[in-house]
Structure 1
Amino acid sequence: MTRSHPAEAADRAGRGRPRNPQTHEAILTAARDLLRSAGYAHFSIERVASNAGVSKASIYRRWPTKGALLLDLYMAGIPGDVITPDAPNLREELHRYLMATIRRVNDDSWREILRSLVAEAQYDTTTSDLIKHKVIIPRREAGLRLLLSAQRRREIAPDCDHELVLDMLFGPLWYRLLFDHAPIDEDFAARLLSLVLSTLNTGTSRADATEPTSH
């Protein structure tokens, strides 16, 4: 008689009740480890199930596609590098966002997850839609709200092209991440921030703008 893996047995015992969190975490851990050791080319639901000690059905009950599983791996712990739309200072918030993103993309495991997710999206429209609605649109909406708030505070020019500015902010990060032609480091963040802020006509900070003029 074949003995079930503890995670699989717990999952079956929990049918009809909330899914067992240990099984859920075992699957995520197995998926993360498989990407780290074998890469996207050898990533499959079958291999994740085998490594986690569960059936493919246990995985598909939680994630209907491979892309959905990859997206959950990507989203784990993501709040640290999301733009805060109601931040009181544009320069400080963009700097915080860029530095948080740099720390994340320089983690080899997470970088492989993101590249794998993008690769999956090229061939699976469901994954592409998931990325659009759960990652791209929310981030751009948060960025737009941040820019509009800064505009109301007169931190930026009233006629700036918000959509293009967001492309300038996000685009270089993705380009360097996907093609790995240049580093994503503090120097890159500083130069990118300077370029974006100069485009927004924020040559002086709010403190500089409100400082009394000497006579």
Structure 2
Amino acid sequence: MKIRVPAHIGLLFPLFLFFTLPAAEAQPFAGGSVGVSYTLHPGAALMKDQGYVIEQNGTPFSAEAGWKFELSADPVTFALSAGIRAGSQHVETMTPDSADNSGTEFALTTIPVRAFARVGTGYFFLEACAGVHLSDITYKTDTGDFSGDRTDFSAGLSLGTEVIFLNRLAVRAGPQADYFYVGDTGAGKAVHMISVGGFAGVAILF
């Protein structure tokens, strides 16, 4: 048996959703963050013993803008933020001993440009981001110089605490991890790099 729903009843369905879904409030925001990072490099200790100078520390910084939505479902309030973030990060610099003519010279400082989504409740949040990173990479081996400009995939994950002052100033801090993919530059293989660290950031809610 088929049940026919009058057309005017069907037109009321979006209105029904509007009044039954949790109330949402939206605010635009803009801010920035700074942190510390350490790039994981298996075998780095052995390479240092062979005379390599490897710098794995960085001080990433970024600026962001987006929208924050608050969903109220008593007794819990959820916050969902989405936007775009861009910044700069030193990932790694690797220099062989001056007497090693067969060593590999590598340097990567890049500009990540990524979309992010952040969900939180109370004072805690979880965030994921993905996009591209724009780099001027130095990559020299005994077979040639494969340096050049690159645009490759990048992603990140962070969590931590967020405190909002006067309904306008959001302060966040916590650990983070970032992934950087560098495609084959001509040396015959791609490079996968992961950095871990922490950050602190401030955003203004308008």
- Looking at secondary structure, tell me which structure has more strand per residue: 2
- Looking at secondary structure, tell me which structure has more helix per residue: 1
Q: Which has the larger radius of gyration?
A: 2
TM-score of the pair, normalised by structure 2 = 0.24
TM-score of the pair, normalised by structure 1 = 0.23
